[in-house]
Amino acid sequence: MERPLTQNIKSDGSTTLLPDYLKTGGYQGLRKAIREYTPAEIQQWVKDSGLRGRGGAGFPTGMKWSFVPMNMPQTKYLVVNGDEMEPGTFKDRWLMEGDPHQLIEGAVIAAYAIQAGTAYVFLRGEYHLAAERMRAAIAEAYENHYLGENILGSDFSLELHLHSSAGRYICGEETALLNSLEGKRATPRSKPPFPQVAGLWGKPTIVNNVETLCNIPHIIHHGVEWYRCLGLTDAGTKIYGVSGRVRRPGAWELPLGTTAREIIAEQAGGMKEGYRLRGFLPGGASTDFLLPEHLDVPMDYASVGKAGSRLGTGTMIILDDKTCPVRMVLNLERFFAQESCGWCTPCRDGLPWVAKLLEDLVKGRGRQEDLAILERMCSFLGPGNTFCALAPGAMEPLQSALKHFRADFENYLPEPIHG
Amino acid sequence: MKRSISFSQAEIDEIREMAAHYPDKSAASIETLKLVQKYHRWVSDEALVAAADLLDMSPAELDGVATFYNLIYRRPVGRQVVHCCNSVSCWMLGAEETLETISAKLGIGLGETTADGEYTLLPIVCLGACDKAPVLMINDQTYFNVDRDRLNELLESREEI
Amino acid sequence: MAEIEIDGQHYSIRTGDNLLKTCLEQRLDLPYFCWHPALGSVGACRQCAVIQYQNAEDQRGRLVMACMTPVAEGMRFSLQDPQAQGFRAGIIELLMSNHPHDCPVCEEGGECHLQDMTEMTGHTFRQYRGRKRTHRNQNLGPFINHEMNRCIACYRCVRYYQDYCGGHDLQVFAAHHHVYFGRHEDGALENEFSGNLVEVCPTGVFTDKTFSRHYTRKWDLQSAPSICPHCAIGCNISPGERYGTLRRIANRYHGEINGYFLCDRGRFGYEFVNSDRRIHRSLLRNQPPLGMKGVVNLFSNLLKKSDGIIGIASPRASLEANFALRELVGAEHFHLGFSGSEQVQIAAILDILRQGPVRVASLREVEQADAIFMLGEDVANTAPRLALSLRQAIRNEAFAIADRLKIPRWQDAAVRTCAQSQGSPLFIASFAATRLDDVATDTYRGGPEELARLGYAVARHLNPAAQETMELNPEFDELAARIASALKSAERPLIVSGTGCQSPSVTRAAGQVACVLADLRGKPSAVHFVLPECNSLGLAMMGGHSLAEAFLAVERGEAKTVIVLENDLYRRAAKPRVKNFLEQAGHVVVIDHLLHETAQQAELVLAATTFAESEGTWVSSEGRAQRYFAVFPPTDEIQDSWRWLGKAGGKSWRSIEEVTKDCAERLPAFRAITWAAPEAGFRINGQKIPRQPHRYSGRTAMLAQAHTHEPKQPADEQSPLAYSMEGALAGRPPALNPSVWAPGWNSSQAVNQFQAEIGGHLNGGDPGMRLIEPSAENPSELATGMSDAIQNLAPIMNRQAWRLRLVPLYHVFGSEELSMLSPALAERTPNPYLALHPEDASALDLKEGDTVGIKLAGQQWRLPVLILPNLTRGLAGIPAGLPEMAWVEQGPVFWDLGG
Ligand SMILES: Cc1cc2nc3c(=O)[nH]c(=O)nc-3n(C[C@H](O)[C@H](O)[C@H](O)COP(=O)(O)O)c2cc1C
Ligand code: SF4
Ligand code: FES
């Protein structure tokens, strides 16, 4: 089984330096792209490859690039979204720490495809090790003309800067990220204008997830056909991860469309001794719970959707039978309430109330009508009702928990007083 | 009352160099604040005013940014800031217990600093290492699988530093 | 126009607007918070949700935010749909979850947008049982209270303060439901438009601190349509009174002038009306009070006895009062009462306005300008509301960018994202930094002579034939070329200047630029000349002799008796000169409302009404005649000035309307002033317009401590308004509407219900009559014929280091006479100083705070040195208009340090 994204990543946690990266075909994709193909052709390759965004929303990458107005000579930007703060998600850290050049190469090709002259890696502030390794790799890349003026002797130039953030989940949302990168408060922006047209400092900007970009060198190097065949259902491989009470929590690169069962049972070694699987969040904190009955669902965009959840970041959080789903949801909602940027009303004032209701519930202070309020909130904070996707994401685990684990919620309610 | 603080030339140079990465100085605001923390541990009002000045921002504008982000400290912190992850996977695997242990050991609660100014204890959201939960971050260093034993070991070893 | 369907009804609407505005214009009640007509849409509060259907078949539809939804032909919406209603109720419920529900003690109560919207959605029952988050409040200075717990985080305050006004010291801090709106530390809000926060904030976070000191509920305030007396812009205001005290000033929307916003001088400068320096009874030197009748007799007799009576008029008194004085003393003895330099400058401006191919831009038109040249006027300090409009004009470039990207102009955040800091060209030439420099394309600093030369150089670049060559340094010339080219390539260029730099050459140079530009474009140029006082232009249009001639007349013994109308001459001329004049005149009669230095020296002082107790007409710098009405009747012996003058002169005027009519008939320039507002006989279905809201309370008990029976309401025979709560509620013409209210709309946002287009003109037309329109004269003559004083403009480089040119520097709080009597404003006023450029200071071995002596206006002053890095070298700045330190110099003055 081919694992292009993680082929260089060592199990001892060390990083891949340039010589090692080159050994496995590193920067061949870039060389090919820049020497042999026009930006439009690269865009087409990526479109044809079927690559979809790995940041959570799953938007087709090539299509996103094609929205950049290419006919006007103006500054354009590429931004690498390395904010990774979705609870339960730990894949981008792994990629950046383990093989930083892969990301750099992906970024340079992407920048070439949209003719961006400057790129930023927006890195979450807590990733100190990733920052150190990215910084070293960027320096290496500059020295070896993979970055800077006239890359590999071509007339394409790119400045790439590492921008280290200071912690806020909302910074991962691409328009909030742009505000943050401009040194402002990270509140999301209205769309339109879409970042592809007016993003960073009002200029056309593409924001892509770390993992998404790590795919690019391989697509160019090995071709579209090869890439499409990597996946079982959708194209390519995916970094899947599992955390919670399993024997071997971790992350693995597997063909897209691998079933949840294989990931949990095979890769993660199954549940820990004494624990049974009750459910799982398939792609990070802001996805709906799936149940053991969904174990055979292929983990791809459409199938997970059909099962009632989202592939999200592809990193699962396991709910075991000794963990209370209500408390787990409380933990998640506290997170979302605290990470709301404070811009729109439903999110800013709705999430703390949700957290409060859950807290009351587990403390035995719940009331019968509270469950109805929680249910109402799920649709109230639903897609389209809030300014960005944070709050709707926050409602996904709650709404599915209310559906699948209703009795757990009701058990917390005090006995109704009769008489 | 006129308060002022002046940065060393090295700090100013570092801020200027960072600001050069962007078409607009104020884009370096977050990195500048972090730099202030690198040298002064936290961002005092005085430092805020001085940094705002360097970035051509008003103190209010910079403070609006500073108070938005989790890792910018607008109150004094200890030499070692212990960030305990309290997000879902760590919580499931005993983060609360870990926190209690640290809290008891240091004699401080969340948001507090030890009397000797050595430790500050703060919560933090998911550190992106959920497969190695529970996770802690002390200053720039992240520690994985921090159960009770590992914790004791850790605090002791750091104290010696 | 397009047809759309809302809840099954068909509406014919303008396309391109957002649905919220459209609904409100159709008088459909749809609640909202973050949207504001002047601030546009950002979609943050999610309060204006409605259902939009995809097509005629769609039965389910989807929830959209009306403020973010552009309306177009054939669209279908529902406001009444239960899902939409439920969502809106849910939003209010969330907003109220942390709100303290302290309406009974909240000063916003009764005019609170949050109350209105809560009512509108029908949210009455509270399900949230958690603790409310609480905040600590800040001391934001003398104007504004801060009560953060009431905040609903609509972000209007920061958007208004930063984006609209360019303020930097109000911010949003922290995140999630801890967001905090305030300053980074306690302290006065710096921006001079902070007062509008009171109306912009939909709840009681920001309230009027001056109002707090004598607070009254909105429904207990008696109001009248009025005009701000504190500068020449003529913003429309709604002053509120109770128990004979003026309580506050609220904005009164005017579609061509102030729109939704006032400046802080206008909003907080009102307390001179309540001042203990008010004159309540006539004062006679060395005599006991005579009573009303006695005083009138005394005044008439005095006039009968004397020969050689001259009158000194007032740029802050009404046209009617000035006209009455002119009638009394005769045109040949009528003196305008401007300071010397003002007189010359205003005459020059009037000349340009009347003869030139120029048109004064209203503030709405200023906001549409796409290239601006501001020459010599520190607008932010002399006509603040104009500065706010200039700041908006800068956004036209942003709108052009948005148009190209097909983003609606009302998509506020989106437009800002696209345009970033790109703005329309604004060139500012001034003595020192101005508060518009942050949005200027380029600034130039110079003394009056350089500024005039720059103006002429721009004119030359616009039309080389207009001006013989003059030697210019290349850098200067290059700037002039750029300014000229920006003006030339603009569609709506605007020239701004005024009397502020006290240099007629600068005024003329600005006039010439406008004339040459008009010649080039074949149509009148838009200009705005800033004038110092609320009726400066009106008085200048009336015409008359100068103050200097009045001094001469007395010195020569030609005049024995002087009547000074609403004017403190010590603010108009050098102290020794005025003192001498008042001493030499046989009799001095002062009619005014404040006991100033001039009044103190008078033999007879007659108590006059302020704008708040009288009706009258002022002519704004736009040339717009505007009527203001009495808010409450005068007490004691206070009378309108025209009454004192009319009675003494034997006139039969019974009401001000008769004076206005006489004035309009006698002086052709004022022919149109009678139409500035409907006449006194105006009635709606036979009813007058009440000054009191229909919920006015406690009327029968108001004077219960003094009387056992309910006093009769004072009658008002003069105007179509009544001192009453009874009368016509609907159909009021804008010029007569004391305050806005509509069912369900108790806050200032009620004004939306009174506009033809929201943010546009008022229903029934914006009040006032423009008196000056562009003349048909051939522009070329003026364009070339004004090159007069150019030779006299000594370039600064010829100046000696030991000779600094003294110039006035203006302060929004401090340079205007009346507002200074408001304690809150006085707190924000600078102390006297002498400002120097740091290099000049060091050349003179002076540092900040050192005391220096200068001679100004015939007096010796000792002033502390203020180092002003942004002041032009070679200039020494003096604060203009501080009490006792008015700028009265005519012609260049120097601070001579020997040489
Ligand atoms: C609240 C929120 C948080 C997000 N956080 C991240 C993140 O940490 N990393 C990321 O790549 N995308 C994140 N996203 C998704 C981004 O908005 C965006 O879709 C993504 O970066 C696009 O890259 P892709 O197309 O390569 O996936 C987040 C979205 C939301 C609404
Ligand atoms: S302070 Fe007032 S205007 Fe500002 S956000 Fe809060 S409620 Fe809105
Ligand atoms: S939940 Fe703690 S590191 Fe992921």
pLDDT at C795 over 50: no
**CA gap C586, A332 in Å, rounded:** 89
CA distance C67 to A20: 55
Question: Minimal Cα–Cα distance from B62 to chain C, Å?
Answer: 9
Q: Is B111 on the interface with C (CB under 8 A)?
A: no
The answer to whether the beta carbons of residues C172 and B68 sit under 8 Å apart is: no
Q: Is the pLDDT of residue C279 over 60?
A: yes
Tens digit of pLDDT for each residue in C497-556? Answer: 999 999 998 999 999 999 999 989 999 999 999 999 999 999 999 999 999 999 999 999
CATH number for C892:
2.40.40.20
Task: Inform me whether the pLDDT recorded for C796 exceeds 80.
Answer: no
Model pLDDT for residues C130-147, shown as the tens digit of each residue: 999 999 999 999 999 999
- For residues C609-624, average pLDDT: 98
For chain B, residues classed under CATH 3.40.30.10 are: 80-157
If one looks up domain A237-320 in CATH, what number appears? 3.10.20.600
Q: What is the β-pairing status of strands C2-6 and C9-13?
A: antiparallel
List, as own/partner pairs, every contact residues A290-296 make where C-beta atoms lie below 8 angstroms and the sequence separation is at least 24, other chains included.
A290/A260, A290/A400, A291/A404, A294/A260, A295/A259, A295/A260, A295/A261, A295/A264, A295/A265, A296/A259, A296/A260, A296/A261
* Angle at the Cα of C11 from the Cα atoms of C10 and C13, rounded to 5 degrees: 150
Indicate if the pLDDT at residue C799 is higher than 80: no
Tens of pLDDT, residues B116-132: 999 999 999 999 999 99
What's the pLDDT score for residue C471?
A: 61
Q: Which residues partner with A320 through β-bridges?
A: A277
Cβ of residue A334 closer than 8 Å to a chain C Cβ: no
What CATH number should be reported for the domain holding residue C561?
3.40.50.740
- Judgement on whether residues C600 and C482 belong to the same structural domain of the protein: no
CB of B89 within 6 A of ligand 3: the answer is yes
Complete DSSP assignment for C604-656: EEEEB--GGG--EEEE-TTSEEEEE--SS---TT-B-HHHHHHHHTT----SH
Whether C390 is covered by a domain: the verdict is yes
| Number of CB atoms found within 10 A of residue A20's CB | 15
**CATH class (in words) of the domain with range A325-410:** mainly alpha
Lookup: tokens for C397:
């470039």
Residue-range definition of the domain harbouring residue C884: 797-896
CB contact under 8 A, C168 and B68: no
Over its C-alpha atoms, chain A yields an Rg (Å, rounded) of 22
User: Does domain B80-157 bear CATH number 3.40.30.10?
Assistant: yes
Are both C888 and C806 inside the same structural domain? Answer: yes
**Is residue C8 located within the same domain as residue C85?**
yes
pLDDT tens for C23-42 read 999 999 999 999 999 999 99
Rounded to an integer, the average pLDDT of C197-216 is 98
Amino acid C473: pLDDT: 67
A84 Cβ under 8 Å from any chain B Cβ: yes
d(Cα B28, Cα B23) in Å, to the nearest integer? 10
Whether C45 contacts chain A with CB within 8 A: yes
∠ CA C443-C401-B22 to the nearest 5 degrees?
65
- Within its chain, how far is the Cα of A187 from the centroid? 19
Q: How far apart are CA C196 and CA A12, in angstroms?
A: 62
pLDDT value at C598 more than 80: yes
> How is residue C799 written in tokens?
């100046």
Which residue, A363, A385, B64, is CA-closest to C94? A385
> A205: CA distance to ligand 3 center in Å?
31
pTM of the complete model: 0.96
Flag the least confident range among B128-132, C110-114, C190-194, C476-480: C476-480
Q: How close A40 gets to chain B, by Cα (Å)?
A: 27
Q: What is the pLDDT of residues A32-70, one digit of tens each?
A: 999 999 999 999 999 999 999 999 999 999 999 999 999
Closest in B48, B60, B67 to C169, CB measured? B60
Cis peptide before A217 (omega within 30 of 0): no
Q: Which residues face A80 on adjacent strands?
A: A121, A208
Q: Which of A85, A181, A244 sits opposite B92 (nearest CB)?
A: A244
Residue C467: pLDDT above 80? no
Same domain, C295 and C409: no
| B84 Cα: distance to centroid of ligand 3 (angstroms) | 10
Which tens digit of pLDDT belongs to each residue from C681-718? 999 999 999 999 999 998 888 878 887 887 788 899 88
Considering the domain architecture, whether residues C368 and C447 belong to the same structural domain is answered as yes
Residues with CB under 6 A from ligand 1: A 53-57, 59, 61, 81, 83-86, 169-170, 172-174, 207-209, 212, 388-390, 393
What are the b/e assignments for C618-652, b being 16+ CB within 10 Å? bbbbbbbbbbbbbbbbbeebbbbbbbbbbbbbebe
Least CB–CB distance from C94: residue in A192, A342, A346: A346
| Ligand 2 binding pocket includes C157 (Cβ within 6 Å) | yes
Write down the ipTM of this complex.
Answer: 0.95
Cα distance from A412 to chain C (closest Cα, Å)? 18
| CB contact set of A59 (below 8 Å; sequence gap of 6+) | A52, A53
- Is the separation of the CB atoms in C672 and C694 below 8 Å? no
Which residue's CA is the nearest one to ligand 2's atom 4? C157
Instruction: Say if C178 is an interface residue toward chain A (CB within 8 Å).
Output: yes
How does pLDDT run across A85-128, given as a tens digit for each residue? 999 999 999 999 999 999 999 999 999 999 999 999 999 999 99
- Output the domain CATH number for residue C507: 3.40.228.10
C183 touching B, CB under 8 A? yes
Whether residues C621 and C508 fall in one domain: no
Any alpha helices (H) in C201-358, and if so which ranges? Answer: 209-212, 264-268, 292-305, 319-329, 340-355
Residues 544-573 of C with CB under 8 A from B: none
Question: Is pLDDT of A360 > 60?
Answer: yes
CB burial of residue A42 (10 Å; 0-12, 13-18, 19+): buried
Q: Are residues C562 and C507 in the same domain?
A: no
The answer on pLDDT for B1 being more than 70 is no
Assess whether C364 and C477 both reside in one domain: yes
**Secondary structure (DSSP) of A299-322:** -SHHHHHHTTS--TTSEEEEEETT
Residue B88 has its nearest CB partner, among A126, A165, A317, at A317
Architecture (CATH level 2) of domain A18-228: 3-Layer(aba) Sandwich (3.40)
Instruction: Output the average pLDDT for chain C.
Output: 93
Residues of each domain in chain A carrying CATH 3.40.50.11540:
18-228
Determine the Cα–Cα distance for residues C840 and C845; give it in Å rounded to an integer: 8
- Could you check whether the bond before residue B134 is cis, i.e. omega within 30 degrees of 0? yes
How does residue C776 score in pLDDT terms, banded at 50, 70 and 90?
A: low
Q: Do C423 and C293 sit in the same domain of this protein?
A: no
pLDDT digits (tens, 9 = 90+) for A219-240: 999 999 999 999 999 999 999 9
Q: Which residues of chain C does B3 touch, with a Cβ-Cβ cutoff of 8 Å?
A: none
Has domain B9-68 been given CATH number 3.40.1350? no
Element (H, E) at A72: none
**Phi and psi at residue C209, to the nearest 5°:** -70, -30
Residues C585 and C527 in one domain: no
C644/A109 Cα distance (integer angstroms):
86
Residue C681 lies in a domain: no
**C348 and C330 in a common domain:** no
Cβ contacts of A285 within 8 Å, gap of 6 or more: A86, A87, A88, A89, A317, A332, A335, A336, A393, A397, B87, B88, B126
Same domain, C475 and C517: yes
Query: Which pLDDT value is given to residue C217?
Result: 96
pLDDT of residue C288: 84
